[in-house]
Structure 1
C-alpha cells in the first residue's frame, strides 16, 4: 500500500481550484469541529485537488491513501516489522494522521474491503479515537484531525458500495464536473493552453458527457481534458491530442472508439 503525505502549505502555495458550489464553505464548517467528510463525484472531477486545496488553506498536513482490494487494516493502522534484528512497531498512515492532527484522505474508499474500512468508524463518530489492538491502546485523535473519504457512486457495482453504517457517519459533499466557464479556466490554467484551445476541449467533453444511451462506463473527465491540453501545449495538434488522451482512454472497443472519433471530428473546429 502506498500513502502520500504533503507538508503544510500556506494559502499562496495552495493548488489551483475553482469552487462550483458551496463545497468550500461546507468543508470549512466541518473542519471547525473535525467532522468527517464524504466526497461523492465522478472520476476526474477534482475531488483530490479539492482536498489538497482545503488542507493548504487550513494550514494542515494532508496524508492521502488510495483504497484498493488488497488493503488491510494493518496497512492503515500499522504493524510490527523487523528492523536491525529487532521487532519494532511502525505506525500506518491513519495512525500517523491521528497522532499529528492531520487530514487523512482515503480516496476511493469502496475499493477497500469492508472489513478493512470498519477501522475508521470510531474516528467518524463522537468517539474520535483509533483502537490499535496490536499495541493494546486506543489513541484519541489529536486536535485538527479530520477524516475525509471519497468514492464515485456512479461507477461502483452493487457489490462495491458504501455501507449505510459508514455513510451515515459523514457529512456529504457532492462534486461534479464544473460548468463550461469554470472548466475552461481550469483547463487553460492547468494545461497551459490558450482560451480557444480550452474552449474546444470543453466542447468535446460536454459532447461526450451528453451522449444519449452512452455505452461508456465513464465519461470524459476534466482530468482527461487537462491531459489533452497538456499534449497540445507540448506541440501535438488538437485532434491527435484528444484522440490519445480522451477517445482511446475511454474505451478499447473499436466501434466505440470509431464513434467517439467521429463525434470529436464534428465538435472540433476544422483545421
Structure 2
C-alpha cells in the first residue's frame, strides 16, 4: 500500500507564482499539521497552489472533487466484492490519514453537511478517524494534513460549512493575481507572447467588473490559459475568446454581447 500512496507524489515542480506570503504561511501551518481552508474564486489557482505545496513538501497529495451526491463512504471507504469475496477498500480520506498524505477536498461545500461532519475528529487534537463499518479507529499518520477549498461567491445558507467545522481550520484567501503576475502566468502556461497575454488579462479584468451585475463570476485565469493556447495554435483571438472565455460563463445574450465588446476593444474588430 505504501507503493500506492507514492503514486500520489508530484514528481515535477508545478508552475506557481506566489502573490503574497501564502506559501510561507501554509508551510508554517503544515509544521503544526493545522487543517486549512483555501477560499477564492473559481480558477484562481487554489488547486495549483496545493500541487506546488505538495511538491515542495515532497508529500503525496490526494485530491477529491466534492459534489452533492458524495456520501460518507466516498470519503472513508466501503466493502466491495471481488474475486476473494468482500474486501474493504479505503477511501481517499482514510488512505491519506493512514499513510501520511495531504488530503485536499476541493469545493467541500458542495458535499452534504452530514458527510463533512466525518472530518471533525481529524481536525482537532484527537486526529482520529473512526471507521464504524470496519470497527477500526485510525490515528492519523504524523504527516497527514487535511485541506479543503471553496468559492465564497457561491455560498448560501444551504451550501456553507457549519461554524463548528470552520473554527477547526486555519484559512487563506486567494484572489486573481494582479495584471502583471497574471500575464506572466498566461504566457508561461499557454505559450503566447506578452502582448496577447496582457490583452487576455485586460478582458478578464473587465469581465470581473460585471460580477453581481449579470455575472456570477468573471473570467478566470484558467480560462485565459485555455484561450491563449488556442491562439498559440492558430485560432483567431475572437474565436478563441468566444470558445474558452465568453461563451462558457453566461447564456445571457446581452452579457455575451458586452463580453464580446471587451474582446473587440482589446483585439480590434
Mapped to 1, the partners of 2:258 and 2:125 lie a distance apart of 52
Q: Contact 1:6 / 1:63 at 8 angstroms: preserved in 2? A: no
Partner of 2:268: 270
Mapped to 2, the partners of 1:234 and 1:6 lie a distance apart of 32
Partner of 1:63: 62
Per-residue CA deviation, residues 169-220 of structure 1 (Å, 9 max, x unaligned), is: 0000000000011000100000011111111111111111123852101111
Partner of 2:219: 220
Partner of 1:36: 35
Q: Contact 1:108 / 1:150 at 8 angstroms: preserved in 2? A: yes
Q: Secondary structure at the match of 2:268?
A: coil
Partner of 1:7: 8
Partner of 2:237: 238
Q: Contact 2:101 / 2:145 at 8 angstroms: preserved in 1? A: yes
Change (3 A) 1:191 1:147: same
Q: Contact 2:211 / 2:217 at 8 angstroms: preserved in 1? A: no
Per-residue CA deviation, residues 144-185 of structure 1 (Å, 9 max, x unaligned), is: 100000000112222111111111100000000000110001
Partner of 2:249: 250
Partner of 2:96: 97
Q: Contact 2:39 / 2:151 at 8 angstroms: preserved in 1? A: yes
Mapped to 1, the partners of 2:79 and 2:36 lie a distance apart of 30
Partner of 1:127: 126
Mapped to 1, the partners of 2:69 and 2:111 lie a distance apart of 7
TM-score by length of 2: 0.95
In the TM superposition, structure 1's runs of 4+ consecutive aligned residues that sit over 4 Å from their partners are none
CA deviation after TM superposition for structure 1 residue 107, in Å: 0.2
CA deviation after TM superposition for structure 1 residue 251, in Å: 0.5
User: Unaligned regions of 5+ residues in structure 2, if any?
Assistant: none
Partner of 1:229: 228
Q: Contact 1:251 / 1:257 at 8 angstroms: preserved in 2? A: yes
Pairing 1:150–2:149 present:
yes
CA deviation after TM superposition for structure 1 residue 6, in Å: 5.3
Aligned residues: 265
CA deviation after TM superposition for structure 1 residue 34, in Å: 1.0
Partner of 1:209: 208
Q: Secondary structure at the match of 2:143?
A: coil
CA deviation after TM superposition for structure 1 residue 143, in Å: 1.5
Q: Contact 1:6 / 1:62 at 8 angstroms: preserved in 2? A: no
Per-residue CA deviation, residues 33-66 of structure 1 (Å, 9 max, x unaligned), is: 2110000000000000000000000000000000
TM-score by length of 1: 0.94
Q: Contact 1:5 / 1:63 at 8 angstroms: preserved in 2? A: no
Per-residue CA deviation, residues 54-105 of structure 1 (Å, 9 max, x unaligned), is: 0000000000000001101111101111111511111111111011100000
Mapped to 2, the partners of 1:212 and 1:46 lie a distance apart of 19
Q: Secondary structure at the match of 1:218?
A: coil
